[in-house]
Amino acid sequence: MRDTTPEASAQLHSGGQRIAFFGGSFDPPHLGHLAVARAALAALGLDCVLFAPVGAQPLKLQGSTASFEDRLELTRLAIAGESGFAVTLADAPKPSGVPNYTIDTLLKLHAELGKDAVLFCLMGADAFFGLWQWHRSAEIPFVAPLIVASRPGQRLELLIDDLKAALPTGLTIGTESGIDELRSGVELRSFVLQNPQGQTTTLYLLPSLDVEISASQVRDQIREELRSADGASSVENQLLPAPVFEAIRARGLYR
């Protein structure tokens, strides 16, 4: 794949794999991102989760706090040594300066991975609840079935109601099509998703994750700790992988 980093290319050179695209600002990448990716990898028997720092998000006109290059390097550090994780440049800034649209990135990845690969789109519940605003959002689940990680502590019935309310126009969630928590120890539920043309796909839900970390919370705490004189850190190892925090400190980010 010409737009993946070398480490991603090494994992994706063979066909017939199950790949999850995991896009986002990763500003910075934190332990919550890793927990979601690990759960998806185990629950769906994925070969690889592709972490894709985004260049320019259409719905975040103010942009990211750190540069794309810094976020890319922090993401590499965050997943280093994690089996089944790789970084991709699929959502890198475009030379033209136009925003990155997920539908375009997924279509491109789908073509490059080949017909034998199975491509998924992994996201947290907060991202899903904003999906209706995305460019050509109703098409996305039919290019790459969605894997949605739930908010911590939310009852399943309320979560499903929230998912139904947040669907892009025209899409409906049908009956639950499966429950699987035996293979991996991670609870996985699946639902039939249908569009007005009668096409169906599967929506996968990871309802039992207990991960409540926000990037803005991490950035605020980083600022506080980098200003403190004692050098003690509750961010490192609690919110961020240690190499990520050390790189943030060395690069002077999020001050």
Tokens of 189: 């539920």
Q: pLDDT band for position 2 (50/70/90)?
A: very low
Task: Determine the Cα–Cα distance for residues 164 and 185; give it in Å rounded to an integer.
Answer: 26
Determine phi and psi for 124, rounding to 5 degrees: -80, 165
Q: Give the containing element (helix H, strand E) for 192.
A: strand 188-194
DSSP label of 135 = T
Q: pLDDT band for position 98 (50/70/90)?
A: confident
Taking phi over 0 as left and psi of -120 to 50 as alpha, with beta for the rest, 126 belongs to: alpha
Determine phi and psi for 242, rounding to 5 degrees: -55, -45
Domains located in the chain, CATH noted: 6-206 (3.40.50.620), 215-251 (no CATH)
- When the pLDDT of each residue in the chain is averaged and rounded to a whole number, the result is 86
Residue 116 has pLDDT above 60, yes or no: yes
Task: Determine the Cα–Cα distance for residues 60 and 127; give it in Å rounded to an integer.
Answer: 12
Question: pLDDT value at position 162?
Answer: 85
Averaged pLDDT for residues 22-34 = 94
Is the Cβ–Cβ distance between 36 and 128 less than 8 Å?
A: no
Instruction: Give the residue with greater pLDDT, 155 vs 57.
Output: 57
Task: Determine the Cα–Cα distance for residues 150 and 184; give it in Å rounded to an integer.
Answer: 17
Q: pLDDT band for position 232 (50/70/90)?
A: low
What percent of the chain has a predicted confidence (pLDDT) above 70?
84
Which of these ranges, 81-85, 100-104, 198-202, 215-219, has the smallest mean pLDDT?
Answer: 215-219
Question: pLDDT value at position 53?
Answer: 97
Averaged pLDDT for residues 227-243 = 72
Q: Residue length, the chain?
A: 255
Averaged pLDDT for residues 33-54 = 95
pTM equals 0.89
Single-letter residue type at 76: R
Question: pLDDT value at position 10?
Answer: 46
Q: What is the pLDDT of residues 127-140, one digit of tens each?
A: 999 999 999 999 99
Q: What is the pLDDT of residues 154-171, one digit of tens each?
A: 677 777 888 888 999 999
β-pair type (188-194, 172-180): antiparallel
